Amino acid sequence: MAPSDQIRTGALPAPEMLRQYVDRIERLEEEKQALMADIREVYSEAKGHGLNPKIMRQVIKLRGLDKQDLQELDAEIEVYRSALGMI
């Protein structure tokens, strides 16, 4: 019987294992919420020092790209801005 069939028929092989996974996920979700609150606090602090959180978020996303992907993205943005008469 496939795992999805087991779930539909109520024949879970190990309810305790399921409970452990759910508990772990719930703990991680709580940690994630705490981290998100910490991140919001850092952005707020940066804003208090005159930095723009919106720009910081964009820069953080861009830092995750490799050089080639970043160059391609910049070129494509330039094309779109030009097409819209923004430059």
pTM above 0.95, yes or no: no
Residues 6+ positions from 38 with CB-CB distance below 8 Å: none
60 burial level (CB within 10 Å; 0-12, 13-18, 19+): exposed
pLDDT of residue 77: 96
Q: Is the pLDDT of residue 84 over 70?
A: yes
Q: What is the pLDDT of residues 6-63, one digit of tens each?
A: 656 567 778 899 999 999 999 999 999 999 999 999 999 999 999 999 999 999 999 9
- Higher per-residue pLDDT: 83 or 8: 83
pLDDT of residue 52: 99
